[in-house]
Chains A and B, each alone.
Chain A
């Protein structure tokens, strides 16, 4: 009997664990170690942040689902990995600290045969002074990264609406809170949902709304932008993004690194090296991501964290980390199997794997401050990678250590993304987009890096319907209800 331990219960970890448990059956053990008691469909946090959904509608308890699936559930956060075991224990093991199950604070070691690191990101609020405390509940700004953050954001948003109704003009500043952020899409959704809700509340004319982001151009989204076929033209996402911002009366500041947040204002540095302050009454700034800070030790107890993890805390996998300058980047730099190169019984999935480099062109200010989006690894790619890793681990367990590993390169897979721009059955809109592949391949597609037959985008009510359907479909799937395996990642 083999044991697979999955660290993390987000999109990637949940997908890996549930498919592995189904394919392995009762003959082997699947364990999930996650600090959260609830699963969260994060894309819908946007609607929690404007009061269109409740926290309960975007979360559910993990324990009964894992109980049904035969998965051992540990509500705990992983602390360290001993991939070679230790002086006292010949087996590889992981150490975790309980956060619930009436054992909060207790440490426990668990042996594993295979380990999948799907811990997701640490929301690194501390990277920008004043951005937020350890829980993200900043004194000056809000976030929509978790359901609790989004609920807090809604309450602050309500206060702003009340002030506007009382005749007090409000300035909304929404975007990224550091020069190395990813997840511009979430901020994009939030700013247009805010704008939509202000219209509904009848106070739009009392609001100034501004976007601030580390993208070199609007519509970069951490993917270097995308080109779409529209009306017989192939056009950049920059054109469409700028069009939407102008149409909805939203100003923008791009190429911006937020260096400090204070009550009512931020300090920023731009790509041209200039600096300044921007005031706000309400600010939602996405924090940068980092690895969760897992440590690794060898059999002798020596720290081998640098061997297992990249400097940013994400786990090294089968990527080419020596690609060097932007001119040398290739699609083949991106990992295919997500296996750790040193310890073959360990994998990483979703945000937890260390990307070989950015997708967007690297940029920095004349002062040397890097200001560029880091690569997105969420949503559909995280699910597909999680499933491929589950396949690989199951084959290694059932067919032996020479089994063929399954592949899911982000340079060969596409992604469908639906970005809400306002909620409403007949008044809502969303930008429905697909890209193929996620990581541009300029050898295969020399012009845009992507197949323009399968890369498209448009905004409208249809996109909103799709986003709403996806909300229910993916929560249904995550609850492992009948037919869940038929719903694609």
Chain B
């Protein structure tokens, strides 16, 4: 059983949510993709910080 299938079946609470599949989960710890996201998130955060001071 796929991981997300297992979790959907746990109870009604979980059944009514969205659960990431294997590809989306893999991207979360993929070093190359996360390095790109690291740069993007930092830029976004710096914009918010600069607007807040």
Contact = CB atoms under 8 A, between A and B. Distances in A.
- State the majority secondary structure of interface residues on B: helix
B17 A242 contact: yes
Interface string A438-466: 00000000000000001010111111011
Contact of A243 (B19, B41, B53): B19
A247 B20 contact: yes
A380 interface: yes
A488 B11 CA distance: 44
Nearest to B18: A243
B28 interface: yes
Contacts of B18: 239, 243
A363 interface: no
Interface in B4-53: 4, 7-8, 10-11, 13-14, 16-20, 25, 27-31, 34-35, 37-38, 41-42, 44-45, 47-53
A461 B31 contact: yes
Contacts of B47: 454
How many chain B residues sit at the interface, stated as a range, is 20 to 34
Contact of A466 (B8, B27, B41): B41
Contacts of A338: none
Contacts of B48: 414-416, 434, 436, 454
A388 to B, nearest CB: 9
A109 B18 CA distance: 59
Contact of B14 (A246, A387, A458): A246
Could you tell me the dominant secondary structure of chain A's interface residues? mixed
Contacts of B35: 462
Given A251-B11, A436-B51, A463-B41, A246 B28 contact: no
B19 A414 contact: no
Contact of A246 (B7, B30, B31, B34): B7
B12 to A, nearest CB: 11
A246 B19 contact: yes
B49 A462 contact: no
A254 to B, nearest CB: 10
Nearest to B20: A247
B44 A434 contact: yes
Interface stretch (A11-19, A72-80, A424-432, A476-484): A424-432
Interface residues on A, range: 20 to 34
Contacts of A380: 49, 52
B13 A462 contact: no
A247 B13 contact: no
A36 B4 CA distance: 47
Contacts of B52: 380, 384, 413-415, 436
B34 A461 contact: yes
A455 to B, nearest CB: 9
Contacts of B49: 380, 414, 416, 488
A249 interface: yes
A461 B45 contact: no
B17 A243 contact: yes
A429 B28 contact: yes
A466 B29 contact: no
Nearest to B47: A454
B45 A432 contact: yes
A460 B42 contact: no
A287 B42 CA distance: 32
Interface of B: 4, 7-8, 10-11, 13-14, 16-20, 25, 27-31, 34-35, 37-38, 41-42, 44-45, 47-53
10 contacts: A243-B17, A243-B18, A415-B48, A416-B49, A429-B28, A434-B44, A434-B48, A459-B28, A460-B27, A461-B28
Given A415-B48, A426-B29, A454-B47, 19 more contacts: A245-B13, A245-B17, A246-B8, A246-B17, A249-B14, A387-B53, A413-B52, A414-B51, A426-B31, A434-B45, A434-B48, A458-B37, A459-B28, A461-B29, A462-B35, A466-B38, A466-B42, A466-B45, A488-B53
